[in-house]
Structure 1
Amino acid sequence: MSKEVRNVERPVISPLDGSEIERAVWTSPEDVAHAVSGARTAQRDWAAAEPTVRRRVLLDVAAAIRADADTIARLESLNTGKPVVDTLREAKRAADCFEYYAGWVDHVVGDTLPMGDANLVYTLREPVGVVAGIVPWNMPFAFAAKKIAPALAFGNACVLKPAPETPLTALRLKDMVEAAGAPEGLVRVLVGGGDVGAALVEADGLGLIVFTGSVATGKVVSRAAAGSLVPCVLELGGNSAQVVFDDCDIDAAVESVLLGGYASTGQMCVAGRRILVQESVYERFEAEVAERVENLVAGDVRRPGVSIGPQTTAAQRRITLDAIREAEAEGATIRAQGSIAPEAEGSGGFYVPPTLFTGLPEHSSLLREEVFGPVAAMTPFEDEAEALRLVNDSAYGLVAGVWTRDIVRAHRFARDVESGTVWINTFRVLNDRVPFGGVKDSGHGRENGASSFETYTRVKSVWASLEVGKGHGFGFAGGPAS
């Protein structure tokens, strides 16, 4: 990709109607090294600050988000096409995130390790330094918070690259962090394309890369991190399954399937778009879900009667429409399809009709590849063994859902499924206290909870001889040094 022109302004487009919201200044790849260097300078002062100072900054950011949540939500909705009810909830989750990590600030402690009378041994927990955070376009404000808040809580700086299509709320969050008293340059937001992202992950001076996005880009990030030996955490999405057994609460499972497959226009890494239903209740379940899907209406979420919004980017709309055509070509049946609101047709927005497929062959690309849109596929299974085989027959392993009243089967399924998260009789429930991440092509490493303590800090061991001059510094207690 060619180098971007320094300080050029580019329009930010609303997927609701294709109109320009405002213009954002793009970063030149040549400016990335300067941003990382400046963040390193600011990070030293930040790490040296009293924990109470850092905690107060994070709490003030949370308060600022809550005070301005309505404005943030409206801007996020305009930029992503999501309903305000969703973006308002995400803004409040971002505030929760800063409050949660504020509680960690003064709990960053090491251990004292008993090593006999000759030595005092203890560990220190240190910040990793500068964290490079890269976030996608489907939940830009909340994801920005989930990268910035833990980085700052543990004494780090954060250089954040949002998706070029949705940079606006991340820029607002950076301003809030500085207004709360963080040193200038501690948080940088770099708006730009793939060349800026490449320059960031290859920059000297990083201590950690935390990436959320596609498998293809995640592999590029991983290779760059390996070249400089920078640790990285990768959350790379999924093509997740919801498994419906015949003894479950059918009505609740129907609601879950609709939520998992079509909420947020299907633009969720945790979307449960592979719907596996036991044969004995398959016909009933298919009919109920199909009826609901046929009543879904895609359109401008600011208008009444609209169920879901547009795809956030024009490129994603093309990808989803191509996936629908490909599934048909492979022999799948469109069992149900919602509509696009009349006023949305020809509006310039990025709309796709909600679609439910049945009759898919096991080799179908729709079952193999992540489709980041309002598309789901329903497949019958005979018994638990077949259900587990179908769930695990995937390159991905981010989340899975199981619906059953048999608690033994539920926990057995949770044990055996290849997934980073399993939901039993619920779906799409997340919390900052609970570790999150995937296996297989869904990535590696964990964010949230105590996992963040391990991710955003590093341990240092300190040995001090208590019998100086007696030679105890020349070997390992219990054996020779290597």
Structure 2
Amino acid sequence: MEVISPIDGAVFATVGEHTVADAERALATAAAAQPAWAATAAGERGRLLHRVADLIRRDRESLAELESRNTGKLLADTRREVERAADCFTYYAGWADKVLGRTIPVPGDFHTYTERVPFGVALGIIPWNVPLFFAAKKMAPALAFGNATVVKPAPETPLTAMALRDLVIEAGIDEDLVHVVVGGREVGAALVTSPDSHLVVVTGHPDTGRAIARAAADTLTPVGLELGGKSPQLVFTDADLDAAADAISLGVFATAGQMCIAGSRLLVHEQVHEPLLERLADRVTRLRVGDPFSPDSDLGPQITSAQRDKTLSFIEGAAGEGARLVGQASLPDDPRLADGYFVPPSLFDQVHPDSTLAQEEVFGPVLGITTFRDEADAVRLANHTRFGLAAGVWTSDVGRAHAISRQLRVGNVWINTYRVLSDLVPFGGFGDSGYGRENGEDAVNLYTTTRATWTSLRAGVPTLFSQARSQ
């Protein structure tokens, strides 16, 4: 397979494409190796994951450069993402020996307890927007809790997931436990429907999530889905407009808007609409689109030509639905970037709540503004979408902030900030944004299941058994 850099549209690497037989072999190998890994002392699993984190940090610069070349993201951003990947392994290394069961005081003479046990082989399917970190986010908890792991990256961005597997093996983890399978839909379907996939955890588009959930249903394989978003940011009259404008801009234009949590629906109280619009228009027009390796660039290209074309179609179609373009950045004029997948960051006002721009996930640097009259109107507009991943609330009234937060049908709410993430905090959504939660203690529940054990404390035939026999 040819790997294309979105910076200049040129092929810069080739990788071998796996077949369905390769995918099935990877799963079978992982399934065979997993019981010994589950039997490994939890502290030893944690020690090996700490070693992976150390190796990621050792190679931080080469990994960041590879990620930027493959995705077109700013080098400053990919450096942070490499550190996040290392932190992810560090975090789950600490969790490995802290997964506890419970004793349950059931009636009768029994000692009854539960324990959390791994599923077996955890299949992780990841998108192209944050490939290294998402590979880490799937591998680290799976391994920490005793599973084997097979990761399928997007075929457009396989390189850092492959590099991460090399580091996991270098750390001393059996290569049979960790696989990266590169391929298209046929390979993905084979992975999902195989009886050797015991858990499927997906980050991706809602359509992909639906297809995977339907396929996994045939084998009754549990699925966790973190899908897309159309996240609102609500700005009230008492908000700090300068702080809001900065965070809103970063929340939708950073990484060229290719974020599931992008705050692409801006809901503004009509009384502060004009001053906030002025601030945002100024910020958008001053954004510098260019080479992600240049420190002067604020954002780079879209990751694929298809995504570039999709984003441009949203920009071109917004005016036809009544939206007004009020701010747009310039494209780079560097001839070296002429064939890159760049799109202009764009700000639209007067966006109708039912329009395509307000309802569909763009996954590009496009922000649409809609006004509201009062709190009830703001909540109604915020929930007027089939997505439910994230939201931002901007107000100096603490009571209002929490009252509004409770009414939002989303999995993540930021108050007077935005796009702050941590492995410690559960993450997931509602509706078309998926179900299940990654991160924190919720990751234990996602990557393990419960086994209950009953032991009779009476000699001879257990009491309840003898009662049942006499009946």
1:301 aligned partner, one-letter code: P
The residue number in structure 1 matching 2:418 is 427
**Paired position in structure 1 for 2:442:** 451
Deviations 1:236-260 (CA, angstroms, capped at 9, x unpaired): 1101011111101111000011011
**Shift of residue 19 of structure 1?**
1.7
Q: Secondary structure at the match of 1:113?
A: coil
**Which residue identity is paired with 2:30?**
A
Match of 2:184 in 1: 193
Output the TM-score relative to the length of structure 1.
0.95
Residue 275 of structure 2 is aligned to residue 284 of structure 1: yes
Is 1:323 matched with 2:314? yes
> Of 311, 323, 347, which residue of structure 1 is paired with 2:302?
311
Give, in whole Å, the separation in 1 of the partners of 2:74 and 2:262: 17
What is the Cα deviation at residue 346 of structure 1? 6.1
- Whole-angstrom CA distance in 2 between matches of 1:33 and 1:425: 47
> Which of 323, 332, 342 is 2:323 aligned to?
332
Structure-2 change in CA distance of 1:315 and 1:475 (3 Å): farther
Aligned position for 1:25: 16
| Higher mean C-alpha deviation, range 325-334 or range 211-220 | 325-334
User: 355, 358, 366: which one pairs with 1:367?
Assistant: 358
CA RMSD between the two structures: 1.5
* Alignment gaps of 5+ in structure 2: none
Separation in 2, partners of 1:139, 1:302: 17
TM-score (norm 2): 0.97
Structure 2 match to 1:461 = 452
Identity among equivalent positions (%) equals 50
Residue number among 238, 241, 257 corresponding to 1:247 in the alignment:
238
Equivalence map 1:154-233=2 (5 Å): 154-233=145-224
What letter matches 1:69 in structure 2?
R
Q: Per-residue deviation at 1:303? A: 3.0
C-alpha distance in structure 2 between counterparts of 1:184 and 1:471, whole Å? 46
Partners of 2:65 and 2:72 in 1: CA distance: 10
- Pick closer, same or farther for the CA change 1:293–1:344 going to 2, 3 Å: farther
For residues 251-276 of structure 1, what are the alpha-carbon distances to aligned partners after superposition, in whole Å with 9 as ceiling and x for unaligned? 10000110111001000001001011
Equivalent in the alignment of 2:428: 437
Count of residues paired in the alignment: 469
Check whether the contact 1:465–1:473 (CA below 8 A) recurs between aligned residues. Answer: no
Alignment pair present for 1:45 and 2:67: no
1:395 maps onto 2:377 in alignment: no
SS state at 1:298 partner: coil
Query: 1:411–1:302: structure 2 CA closer, same or farther, 3 Å change rule?
Result: same
Aligned to 2:99: 108
Cα distance in 2, alignment partners of residues 60 and 302 from structure 1: 29
1:266 counterpart residue number: 257
What corresponds to 1:5 in structure 2? none
Instruction: Tell me, yes or no, if structure 1 residue 237 matches structure 2 residue 228.
Output: yes
1:401-438 per-position Cα deviation (integer Å, ceiling 9, x unaligned): 00000001000011010100000001001100110000
Matched residues in 2 for 1:456 and 1:344: separation? 48
Write the deviation string for residues 271-325 of structure 1: whole angstroms up to 9, x where unpaired: 0010111111111110110111111122212235322100001110011111112
Partner in structure 1 of residue 463 of structure 2: 472
The counterpart of 2:292, out of the listed 277, 298, 301, is 301
1:177 Cα shift?
Answer: 0.6
Matched residue SS, 1:462 = strand
How far 1:471 moved relative to its partner?
3.7
Is residue 90 of structure 1 aligned with residue 81 of structure 2? yes
Segment drifting more, 211-220 vs 51-60? 51-60
Question: Is contact 2:8–2:336 with CA below 8 Å preserved after alignment?
Answer: no
Q: Contact 1:212 / 1:234 at 8 angstroms: preserved in 2?
A: yes
Q: 1:339 and 1:80 mapped to 2: Cα distance?
A: 21
Distance verdict in 2 for CA 1:344–1:308, change over 3 Å: farther
Check whether the contact 1:297–1:353 (CA below 8 A) recurs between aligned residues: no
Quote the Cα distance in structure 2 between the aligned partners of 1:35 and 1:148. 15
Aligned residue identity for 2:169: E
- Does the alignment pair 1:379 with 2:373? no
